[in-house]
């Protein structure tokens, strides 16, 4: 049933995109008047038409194959893995909090919370692991590979990142890097 | 200077202990950079640039070439062990490498990846030395319609990726092609399919989508009520071993074909290692006696992808050295460094500064041989990570995915795209769609559309004229046959039954 609903939603979404979102800005006059150019909407519209046909056939196939299947019902939709849904929410949330919280807090929280979600019961060990890995990844990417990891926009988080950076800079100058 | 003199001079240059040491250092740096998700070959070469500022021209060339070649190989390590392609060109390696690792054959998968990478690299280095001027002229005569036909041939794999699910694989490939349309169109910069999001105007960045669909989806699949990987899934005791001579002999023609195709694709401006690996994977699926085994974990799939992407590195050096035209982004970064060192790239290089061509060739040969030894050691270190319980490893993979996506453009939007791609990857898997087909469409979509559009304008909107060139016409006919044949054969089989 989940597969059928996804396919139907995809079909409706593509139909909507075909009419409203393929072109979101006017085609330049010179391009529109030139008969020898491929207009910017032709390629995506051709793909959408093919997709609409293929997905319609797929929906028909799903219904035909499951016509006599007793498990093919809306009730089966609720047999879901709660942990997996929490995992998805955690990953999406981490991508949104990376900017305000910065790398340090986000990394620590992801390591700790996802560790708990995956069944780690030694909380103290997990806390130490999260702190150590946060710093190891920081050193590899920020110090060795010069990737400017986000500092965070919340003042406290930003100040903490700047504090860590100042310590790293002191250590680097002390060892002559 | 004759080819033999170039050959001997090159190795003479590498006999200098300092230069040889630089090659070893560059291989270590390049392999680690390549293995880290989000650090592409271009980024690896760019990160290697500061090391060359104080070097003489020859050690600098040798260093950058070694970083470039080894970073492409390094990408296969995480592709096989974690299903995270370190570089985009290693994406097809995950199709067969990761299933082998899950079966407890990670060592063999790494062995075949490293061995075939070395073979591809060596063949392309030889091609670079002996055929530079001829190959460059041939590649530069390729028109947009020829390049479109080549990429279309890569797309013809769609009906072969999963012979039991042709319709769903086609849908996945078409979805990938549609995702490649997001953002401004390649010819007139008209905004398409962004749904008003300013973060999508520049289009979907490849690395975050790859990381999301391959790595994050895998962690989400593992998010169940268990902690450790089961014994047969764990690769903790990875002992990189080379396949037997018999196995190598069995794929000799595959290695030869992929080396040649990879070198030619590498020479084409704007193509590169990613297209080479996808195209060779698709070609070998078609030519194989057992195409249904591709994607289930066979050495042919890994060898095809890894031979091709390393062969493309040598190919990319051909137009760079003989015409001063970079074949790809990494070659462009290298070009700027070489010009800084006073190297005259172009037709006069062979006349005025042949020692630089010799050094590049020798560096590629030595790198491709030494790389196998260094990469085995690095792979062992990476494999040890798999010994830790999944409740520690899973979160580390997610953090590597987040940092890898962010590091590509220092963009938070890319992290969001990666997270959404991870969730979409899970939905794709639940709907029995094919994520490999989706990635294939996404990777080839931009090149396909751009070249089709150019060829359409050049041929004055006449499709017959567009494919009247011998290369384009022949390739299109072959591609269409390859695309339609599996569908027709399935229909015939059903009718027979």
CA distance A118 to B223: 6
Q: Among candidates B90, B2, B45, which has minimal Cα distance to B317? A: B45
pLDDT digits (tens, 9 = 90+) for A126-157: 999 999 999 998 988 888 777 888 999 999 98
Q: Tell me if B192 and A22 make a contact (CB, 8 A cut-off).
A: yes
CA distance B312 to B268: 9
Which residues of chain B are within 8 Å of residue A105 when distances are taken between CB atoms?
none
DSSP for B381-447?
A: HHHHGGGS-HHHHHHHHHHHHHHHHHHHHT-HHHHHHHHHHHHHHHHHHHTT--HHHHHHHHHHHHH
Please, what is the Cα angle at A56 between A51 and A59, to 5 degrees? 125
Tokens of B409: 């453009």
Chain A, 26-65: which have a CB under 8 Å from a chain B CB? Answer: 26-28, 31, 35-38, 40-41, 43-44, 47-48, 50-51, 54-55, 57-58, 61
pLDDT digits (tens, 9 = 90+) for B436-453: 788 878 877 888 888 898
**Which range, of B248-252, B380-384, B409-413, averages the lowest pLDDT?**
B380-384
Closest in A24, A117, A146 to B191, CB measured: A24
pLDDT band per the 50, 70, 90 thresholds, residue B232: very low
CA distance B314 to B328: 12
pLDDT value for B389: 81
Segment B113-141 mean pLDDT: 79
Q: Where are the domains of chain A?
A: 2-78, 82-174
Total CB pairs under 8 A between chain A and B = 188
**Which range, of A115-129, B200-214, B218-232, B473-487, averages the lowest pLDDT?**
B218-232
CA distance B443 to B210: 10
CA distance B228 to B238: 17
Query: Which of B152, B201, B399, B461 to mutate against chain A (most A CBs within 10 Å)?
Result: B399
CB B438 within 8 A of CB B213: yes
Segment B170-179 mean pLDDT: 91
Which residues of chain B are within 8 Å of residue A117 when distances are taken between CB atoms?
223
CB B211 within 8 A of CB B38: yes
DSSP for B55-108?
A: S-HHHHHHHHHHHHHHHHHHHHHHHHHHS--SSGGGHHHHHHHHHHHHTT-HHH
In this predicted structure, the answer to whether residue B137 has a pLDDT above a threshold of 60 is yes
Residue B83: left (phi > 0), alpha (psi -120 to 50), or beta?
A: left
This model of the complex carries an ipTM of 0.90
Q: What contacts A29, CB < 8 A, 6 or more positions away?
A: none
CA distance B57 to B350: 16
Average pLDDT of every residue of chain B: 80
Q: What contacts B175, CB < 8 A, 6 or more positions away?
A: A51, B433, B438, B441
pLDDT band per the 50, 70, 90 thresholds, residue B226: low
User: Where is pLDDT greater, at B33 or A133?
Assistant: A133
Beta bridge partners of B339: none
Which residues of chain A are within 8 Å of residue B151 when distances are taken between CB atoms?
none
pLDDT value for B233: 45
Q: With an 8 Å Cβ cutoff, is A122 touching chain B?
A: no
Q: With an 8 Å Cβ cutoff, is A100 touching chain B?
A: no
Q: What contacts B277, CB < 8 A, 6 or more positions away?
A: B89, B90, B91, B92, B93, B262, B304, B305, B306, B308, B309, B312
Segment B413-426 mean pLDDT: 91
Tokens of B435: 């994520």
pLDDT value for B210: 79
CB A48 within 8 A of CB A18: yes
CB B162 within 8 A of CB B168: yes
- Looking at chain B, the whole-number percentage of residues with pLDDT higher than 70 is 87
Chain A, 152-171: which have a CB under 8 Å from a chain B CB? Answer: none
pLDDT value for B230: 43
Closest in B175, B193, B430 to A2, CB measured: B430
Q: Tell me if B220 and A92 make a contact (CB, 8 A cut-off).
A: no
* pTM score, whole prediction: 0.74
**Strand-pair category, B183-184 with B191-192:** antiparallel
Q: Tell me if A38 and B457 make a contact (CB, 8 A cut-off).
A: yes
Q: Tell me if A107 and B399 make a contact (CB, 8 A cut-off).
A: yes
Closest chain A C-alpha to B279 CA, distance in angstroms:
21
Q: Tell me if A38 and B407 make a contact (CB, 8 A cut-off).
A: no
Closest in B177, B394, B412 to A47, CB measured: B177
CB A162 within 8 A of CB A103: no
Give pLDDT < 70 ranges for chain A: 74-80, 176-177
User: Which residue in chain A has the smallest CA separation from B449?
Assistant: A43
Q: Tell me if A118 and B227 make a contact (CB, 8 A cut-off).
A: yes
Q: Tell me if A147 and B406 make a contact (CB, 8 A cut-off).
A: yes
CB B108 within 8 A of CB B383: no
Closest in B175, B191, B449 to A25, CB measured: B191
Closest in B181, B195, B399 to A110, CB measured: B399
User: Which residue in chain A has the smallest CA separation from B36?
Assistant: A141
Q: Tell me if A126 and B191 make a contact (CB, 8 A cut-off).
A: no
CB B375 within 8 A of CB B80: no
Q: Tell me if B419 and A43 make a contact (CB, 8 A cut-off).
A: no
User: Which residue in chain B has the smallest CA separation from A8?
Assistant: B431
pLDDT digits (tens, 9 = 90+) for B78-95: 888 888 777 778 888 988
For B151, phi then psi, to 5°, come to -70, -35
Which of A114-128, B118-132, B348-362 has the highest mean predicted lDDT (pLDDT)? Answer: A114-128
User: Which residue in chain B has the smallest CA separation from A1?
Assistant: B431
pLDDT value for B385: 65
Specify the long-range contacts of residues B458-464, CB closer than 8 Å, at least 24 apart: B458/B143, B458/B144, B458/B145, B459/B145, B460/A36, B461/A35, B461/A36, B461/A37, B461/A38
Q: Where are the domains of chain B?
A: 3-496
User: Which residue in chain A has the smallest CA separation from B208?
Assistant: A95
- Indicate the DSSP class of residue B244: P
Matching residue, tokens 């549609």: B178
> Judging by beta carbons within 10 Å of its beta carbon (0-12, 13-18, 19+), is residue B351 exposed, middle or buried?
exposed
């Amino acid at each position: 049933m989940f597969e059928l609903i996804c396919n139907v939603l995809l079909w409706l979404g593509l139909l909507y995109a075909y009419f409203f979102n393929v072109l979101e800005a006017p085609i330049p006059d010179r391009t529109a008047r030139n008969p020898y150019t491929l207009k910017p909407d032709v390629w995506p519209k051709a793909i959408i038409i093919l997709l609409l046909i293929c997905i319609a056939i797929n929906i028909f196939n799903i219904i035909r194959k499951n016509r006599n299947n007793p498990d093919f019902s809306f009730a089966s939709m609720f047999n879901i893995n709660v942990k997996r849904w929490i995992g998805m929410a955690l990953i999406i949330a981490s991508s949104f909090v990376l900017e305000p919280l910065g790398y340090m807090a986000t990394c620590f929280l992801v390591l700790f919370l996802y560790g708990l979600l995956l069944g780690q019961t030694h909380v103290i060990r997990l806390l130490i692991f999260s702190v150590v890995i946060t710093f190891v990844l920081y050193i590899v990417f920020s110090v060795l590979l010069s990737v400017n990891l986000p500092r965070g926009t919340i003042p406290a988080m930003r100040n903490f990142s700047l504090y860590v950076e100042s310590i790293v800079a002191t250590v680097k100058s002390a060892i002559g890097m | 200077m004759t080819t033999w003199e170039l050959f001997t001079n090159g190795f003479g240059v590498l006999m200098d202990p300092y230069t040889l040491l630089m090659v070893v250092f560059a291989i270590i740096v390049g392999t680690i950079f390549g293995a880290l998700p989000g650090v592409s070959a271009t980024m690896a070469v760019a990160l290697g640039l500061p090391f060359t500022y104080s070097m003489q021209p020859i050690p600098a060339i040798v260093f950058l070439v070694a970083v470039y070649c080894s970073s492409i190989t390094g990408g296969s390590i995480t592709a096989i062990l974690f299903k995270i392609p370190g570089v985009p060109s290693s994406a097809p390696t995950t199709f067969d490498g990761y299933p082998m690792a899950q079966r407890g054959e990670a060592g063999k998968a790494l062995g075949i990846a490293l061995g075939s990478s070395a073979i591809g690299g060596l063949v392309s280095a030889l091609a670079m030395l002996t055929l530079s001027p001829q190959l460059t002229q041939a590649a530069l005569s390729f028109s947009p319609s020829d390049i479109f036909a080549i990429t279309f041939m890569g797309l013809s794999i769609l009906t072969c990726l999963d012979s039991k699910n042709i319709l769903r694989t086609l849908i996945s490939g078409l979805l990938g092609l549609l995702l490649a349309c997001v953002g401004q169109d390649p010819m007139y910069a008209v905004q398409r399919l962004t749904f008003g999001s300013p973060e999508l105007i520049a289009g979907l960045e490849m690395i975050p989508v790859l990381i999301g669909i391959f790595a994050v989806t895998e962690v989400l699949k593992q998010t169940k009520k268990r902690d450790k990987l089961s014994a047969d899934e764990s690769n903790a005791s990875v002992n990189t071993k080379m396949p037997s001579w018999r196995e190598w002999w069995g794929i000799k023609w595959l290695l030869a074909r992929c080396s040649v195709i990879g070198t030619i694709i590498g020479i084409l401006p704007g193509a590169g290692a990613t297209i080479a690996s996808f195209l060779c994977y698709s070609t070998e699926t078609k030519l194989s006696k057992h195409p249904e085994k591709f994607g289930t974990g066979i050495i042919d799939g890994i060898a095809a992808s890894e031979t091709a992407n390393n062969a493309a590195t040598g190919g990319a050096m051909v137009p760079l050295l003989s015409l001063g035209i970079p074949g790809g982004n990494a070659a462009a970064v290298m070009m700027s460094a070489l010009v800084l060192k006073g190297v005259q790239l172009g037709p006069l290089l062979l006349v005025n500064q042949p020692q630089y061509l010799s050094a590049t060739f020798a560096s590629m040969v030595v790198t491709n041989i030494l790389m196998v030894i260094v990469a085995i050691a690095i792979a062992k270190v990476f494999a040890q990570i798999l010994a830790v319980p999944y409740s520690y490893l899973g979160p580390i993979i997610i953090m590597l995915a987040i940092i890898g996506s962010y590091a590509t453009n220092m963009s938070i939007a890319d992290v969001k795209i990666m997270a959404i791609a991870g969730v979409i990857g899970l939905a794709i898997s639940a709907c029995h769609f094919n994520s490999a087909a989706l990635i294939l469409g996404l990777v080839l979509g931009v090149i396909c559309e751009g070249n089709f559009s150019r060829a359409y304008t050049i041929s004055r909107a006449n499709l017959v004229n567009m494919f009247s060139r011998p290369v384009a016409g022949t390739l299109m006919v072959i591609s269409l046959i390859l695309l339609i044949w599996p569908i027709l054969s399935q229909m015939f089989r059903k009718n027979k039954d």
